Every structure is written in structure tokens, then in C-alpha cells.
Structure 1
Amino acid sequence: AAVVRACVAARVPMVPRGAGTGVEGGAIPYGGGVVISMSRLRRMEVSEGEMLAVVGAGVYKEELNKFLAPKGLLFGPDPSSNPSIGGMASTGGSGMTTFRYGTTKENVVSLLVVTPQGDLLQTRRAVRKSSSGYELTQLYMGAEGTLGLICEITVRVRKQPPLRSGGMLPFDNVKAAVDTVVAAVHLDPPSMLRCELLNGEGVECTNKIFNTGLRCLPTLFLEMRGKDPEALRRDFDAVAALAADHGCPADTVQF
């Protein structure tokens, strides 16, 4: 807060920086000014009763999940990089688990923000259910530091499913794969966590980088999570049946 007040008094622009994993250059001060690193904001506390965690803006996503793992918990949103939690809130990040857990915006309960005047603002009470006052939390989510600096985030945490399995569904064309995803969303199999589509060129690049031998076709990659292995298989088979209805050959399905 003192840094913000000093910059405002001197009319110096400020740019907050989290992990620097963004690819759009959001942490670069193109117009000059001061870069404010959040790396020393390291608080991590969890309330298992409320299923909430209070996290400093400088904590990385993987650090938070490592902290939560011994308690059998996780923070659901999962961007492919390892961003800071502050960066995820500031950009409204999502990731590959959006299908099941939603985006960062849907998993943040409250924020501690430094306003442009250098004041500290708690956007709402850090409880699971509260209907009092203005909804300021979502105002700052995705604002990328233009309305204030996010210093601390209260997030929802979830139980960590103990079992995981995956599968691949190749298609002759992208439209058939997309139609399968739409049908799967309506079906909503309980254990389906991720559903990602690569076109043929993407699969070809994957083969070159990771030395795999996948068929270079539009392919859905699924991840199932849960407690019962039979339920994981049942849910995958249900999605595979939808894929077959949209032209996915049964002999190409892998689980």
C-alpha cells in the first residue's frame, strides 16, 4: 500500500507482476514506470470446515496444490502453465479443468486489494455464503491490475479424487469432435474432468516433440477422476458411445 501511495504521489505508472507466465506481455511496463512484484506475498492457510484457502498473490498454483495435497484437497482451475494465484485472479484465468471446476472467477470468494489511493480493501467477507454489500470481487477479477493490486485471494478448495484415468477419441474431422463435446456436456458424466481437442496438426506437433506415435487426426483427450474405477470406465464408455455416433471408429478408441 505504501508503494502505491508513493507512486501515485509521484505520478509514476505501476505494473503488477505475478509469475510472468502470461504470453501477452501484461507484466511489461511498455509506458515506463514501476514493476511491482508479488513474489513475497506467500501466505497459505486453509479452513477445511469452510473448504476455503487464503492465499498470497505470489503463491504459485502448483505450490498451493502441494500445500493442500496432504489434506486431500486441491484448487480446481488448472492453466497449462504454473501461474501465481494472484495472476490467475487478475487475468480471470481458466485452464483444462474448466469443464468440471469452472474458471478462476468461479472459484474466488474474496480479494484483498490495494486501491489506486493506496487503501486496503476486502471485497467481501471470506465465507462461503454472504449476500451483504456490493459484489466487488468480480469487479477486480480479470481487470489485470487496472483497478487495483490484488494482494490476497480467498479461494474455494475441493476434495482430491484418488483415482485418475485417461482416453483418446480420434475423428475424421474437427466438426465431429466438437459435436461430441457438445453432446458430452449435455450428458455431464460425473467423473469427466478434462476434455481437450487437438486438430491433426496439433497431434503431429505432439508426436514430434514427445516422440509419440498418435494418428494425426483431430483427437479428443479425456481425463476421468473419481473414487470408483468401474465408474471411471462407465463414464468413458458413455462418451465413447457419443463419439461413435459422430463417426469415431471403435477400433481407434483408447482408454
Structure 2
Amino acid sequence: MTIATALEALSTFLGDRLSRSKSDLAAHGQSESYFLPTPPDAVAWPETTEDVTEIMRICNEHGCPVTPWGAGTSLEGHALAVRGGLSLDFSRMNALLEIHPEDLDAVVQPGLTREELNRDLRATGLFFPVDPGANASLGGMAATRASGTTTVRYGTMADNVLGLQIVLADGRVIRTGTRARKSASGYDMTRLFVGSEGTLGIITELTLRLHGQPEAISAAICAFDEIGAAVDCVIATIQSGIKVARIEFVDAATAAAVNAYSAGSFAEKPHLLIEFHGSPQTVAEESQRLGELVDDMGGEGFRWSTKPEDRSALWEMRHTAYWAILASRKGARAVVTDLCVPISRLAEAVEETRADIAASPIPGPILGHMGDGNFHAILLIHDDAPDELAAAKALSHRMVERALRMGGTVTGEHGVGMGKLDYMQAEHGDAWALMGDIKQVLDPKGILNPGKLVPQL
């Protein structure tokens, strides 16, 4: 039983939907982060659940590793075929299968991206709210339990996936969950697979919770002299019950980078960017309440608007932040890491992280989804300076230790993949071994996305 024999059988089954060309292998061997390229032995493009069933049957029979591939936007090496084998590209399984407007749900294939889904939903008055920033595939978002800018109001993928169709390692097909809004029937298998990063089964269909498009949206921006004051304002906003849909933070370095990148005129200070969803009266009232709070806490330049063009201008800083930060150091690439802590420890976590980065030899602007205690450091390194990668990894390590010390998690939304694998024991204790036991039951040959998430065999 070898990868080569599996690929021979797959070639017979898939024909030109299996590729071993260097360009296709290279395209599926890259990641958005610092991991070295790891091309698979072949790439397959399934078009139906039946295709995936037969692919998994063949790969299981021959012990061939299978690594799912969505849009390739993950940051911890989730989609890299680190043990070779097959990269399973879902770009051709990208259909919106069903919409049930009266029940506020939709059934989709895993290769459909969140932006494509929301374009398809425009005429219905509904939308899918989870926004990780990148135009990620919905299957990948479920597999990594993605969240993002709207989590503070709408929750993560765990809150917005009602059910799944899964192909197991041996080719069996199961369904988890229903379209009902609740159930007391058995184990919550849907949540087991949401966040499993392709290590337990292959998602071939998702039933998603939809939400009504808000009648009105307002956006606001304000600046603070110090990071601590801005974060304290976030905490006060959440604790006072002001109903924000997004509350984002960028530090002074990010503001400066955006100014240089897009000729902006933002004050080079920490900023909060906030959005409200609701009726015209509600968004006006909540914006006014926030403005009063910002004044009380020493903020400045508070502006809000419901006009789309004004909202776009106010959000420019956040929308362009990543590319502006990359451009701020010529020839650099980013090690992007994240942590999440209880909201009461957020100011402390941000201040300690900022001081730690300032004392390091590399720049690392901070931004994040402060409404749920989650923030990111964009650590900028040069490929020809190995000491900088070492410094970035050391900073990330201390961020992890800080999060755990404060009762938080090593990753709020990026997932584990390979990058956070070494910290799973510290966060989960014996529960991590139990995750490995579950993996062994569902995938005894260890062919599903090996090298990720669980203890390694």
C-alpha cells in the first residue's frame, strides 16, 4: 500500500481532474504564513460527494494522506500536505444548493466562499455574518472554526453551522445536525467536526444559519493617546451593554502604515473602529451612547455616519491594515499570530504584548477584534534574516504563555494546524490525548490531514 498505487487508482477514476503538474503542486504547497513550501504528490478536484466518497475509499485502502484545500487562506499551515499524498481542492464544489428564507438557513457546498454566498443572498434580504477578513471558503471556515470582525454580535462558525455532511476516512457518508433550531438528541456531532481542521472527516455540505440584513448600519471611529485607554474603552463598551456589531482596534503603528500606504490622514494614535446594526433609531442611539463613553474615557475625533461612502472611508484603516503593514517594511513578510483572553484581562494582555514587541528586534503592529478579547500581532520579518524568524517565534511563544496565564486560549480564531500544535497539551491537558483517541477511532490509518491539531502517531 503506497501513495503511488493510490494515485494510479485515482488517475483512472478522476482522469484530468487529477494533476501532478509542477505548477499545480506548487500552488497547493504554499501558505499565507512562514511555513516552508510543501507540495503534495497530486491534486484532485472533486465535483460531488460521491467523488469524495470514492477518493477516500481509494486513499484509505492504500494509506494515502489526504489534505483538504479550500481557498488556501489559513495561517497555521492547515492546508499543507506535510506528509505528501493528495491535496483535495474543493473549488469545483462551490454551489449554493438551497435557500430557506422563511427558516433563515441555507445549504451550501464547501468550496463556496463567504463573499460569493452573500452576493447570492442579496435579493433575499438575508446575509451570512461570519467575516474572517479573507474571502475564505465556507468549508475551510467551518473546519477551522473561523470567526472575525462580527463575532461580538453574531458569534463564530460554531454558532452559525446547523449541520454538516461529512465523508469519513473510509468513505462512509454521515450527516450531523438538522435544520431545527435546537435538539436534545445525542452527542453534538456538528460541533465535534466544526474546528476539527480536516482531521476527522471531509466536509462536503454545510447547513448555515442566516440573518436578516440590518435595516440601518452606522460606523464610527475615534482615537486615543494610549493603547490602554482604547482597550479600556472597549471593555467599558461591552460591559455597559452597548450593542456593537463590530469593534475593531488598530495601534499607532498601523495608523502610520495606513497613512503611508494610502495617503490617509489618520492621527498616528491607537484607534477604535465600530459598527452598529439595527433600525435607524437604534443605530443612532447606540452611536450617541458610544460617543459619550469615548468622551468620558479621553478619546478624541469621534465621528459616525450611516452613509455607505462615509462608512467606507471610516473603515479604510481596518480594510487596508494588513497590506499597509506589510508595505511598511520593504521586502518583509508576516508571521501573524493571535490570542484570546477574558475581556477583563484584555488591557493587560495588549499592554504586555506591546511592551514585549517594543523590546524585540522586529516590528509588530497590533490589531484585532477587541469586542471578544481577540487580537493579532503582525510580526514583520525578512527571509534572509533567520534571527528575525527566531525572534518572531519567541514573541509568539510568550503571547501564548500570556494568554494561558490569563485564562485564555492559544488561538482565538486562526486555529491550531502545525503552528500551535506544541501548545495543545498546556491548554487542554489530558483532553488533548482524548482528541487523539477520537481521531484514532474515526481515522485509524491516520490519513486525514496528518501532522495537524492532535497528538501525532
Common fold: TM-score over 0.5: yes
Structure with higher helix content: 2
Using the alignment, how far apart are the partners of 1:129 and 1:25 within structure 2?
Answer: 34
Q: Deviations over 1:201-240 (max 9, x none)?
A: 0111111222210001110001122231x43222112112
Pair 1:233-2:233 in alignment: no
Using the alignment, how far apart are the partners of 2:213 and 2:177 within structure 1?
Answer: 27
1:176 to 229, 241, 246: 229
Point out where structure 1 has 5 or more consecutive residues left out of the alignment: none
Q: Helix, strand or coil for the counterpart of 2:264?
A: coil
Pair 1:163-2:163 in alignment: no
1:39 to 91, 97, 114: 91
User: Partner residue of 1:254?
Assistant: 303
Q: Deviations over 1:177-198 (max 9, x none)?
A: 11111111122334x2110000
User: Partner residue of 1:221?
Assistant: 273
2:153 to 84, 89, 100: 100
- Contact 2:250–2:271 (CA<8 Å) still a contact in 1? yes
1:244 partner letter: D
Pair 1:19-2:68 in alignment: no
User: Partner residue of 1:117?
Assistant: 170
Pair 1:89-2:138 in alignment: no
2:261 partner letter: I
- Contact 1:50–1:128 (CA<8 Å) still a contact in 2? no
Quick check: which has more Rg, 1 or 2?
2
- Contact 2:230–2:270 (CA<8 Å) still a contact in 1? yes
Q: How many residues align?
A: 251
2:202 to 149, 173, 186: 149
Using the alignment, how far apart are the partners of 2:138 and 2:101 within structure 1?
Answer: 19
Q: Deviations over 1:45-93 (max 9, x none)?
A: 1111221111110101011111111000001111111001001000000
Pair 1:6-2:58 in alignment: yes
TM-score by length of 2: 0.53
- Contact 2:94–2:113 (CA<8 Å) still a contact in 1? no
User: Partner residue of 2:111?
Assistant: 58
Using the alignment, how far apart are the partners of 2:105 and 2:176 within structure 1?
Answer: 16
Percentage identity across paired residues of the two chains: 36
Q: Helix, strand or coil for the counterpart of 1:212?
A: coil
Q: Helix, strand or coil for the counterpart of 1:207?
A: helix
Using the alignment, how far apart are the partners of 1:27 and 1:213 within structure 2?
Answer: 39
Using the alignment, how far apart are the partners of 2:279 and 2:178 within structure 1?
Answer: 33
1:5 partner letter: R
Matches within 5 A, 1:73-84: 73-84=126-137
User: Partner residue of 1:242?
Assistant: 293
1:30 to 70, 82, 101: 82
1:204 to 250, 256, 279: 256
Q: Helix, strand or coil for the counterpart of 2:122?
A: helix
1:26 partner letter: H
Shift, 1:244, TM fit: 2.1
Q: Deviations over 1:68-119 (max 9, x none)?
A: 1100000111111100100100000001011111111111111111111211
Q: Deviations over 1:141-180 (max 9, x none)?
A: 1111011111111110000013222111111111111111
Using the alignment, how far apart are the partners of 1:40 and 1:113 within structure 2?
Answer: 17
Q: Helix, strand or coil for the counterpart of 2:102?
A: coil
User: Partner residue of 2:440?
Assistant: none
- Contact 2:294–2:302 (CA<8 Å) still a contact in 1? no
Q: Helix, strand or coil for the counterpart of 1:254?
A: strand
TM-score by length of 1: 0.94
2:291 partner letter: A
Shift, 1:27, TM fit: 1.2
- Contact 1:18–1:37 (CA<8 Å) still a contact in 2? yes
Q: Helix, strand or coil for the counterpart of 2:245?
A: strand
Shift, 1:126, TM fit: 2.7
Using the alignment, how far apart are the partners of 1:2 and 1:52 within structure 2?
Answer: 29
Point out where structure 2 has 5 or more consecutive residues left out of the alignment: 1-52, 305-457
Deviates more, 1:216-225 or 1:20-29: 20-29
Using the alignment, how far apart are the partners of 1:231 and 1:36 within structure 2?
Answer: 46
RMSD: 1.3
Matches within 5 A, 1:130-149: 130-149=183-202
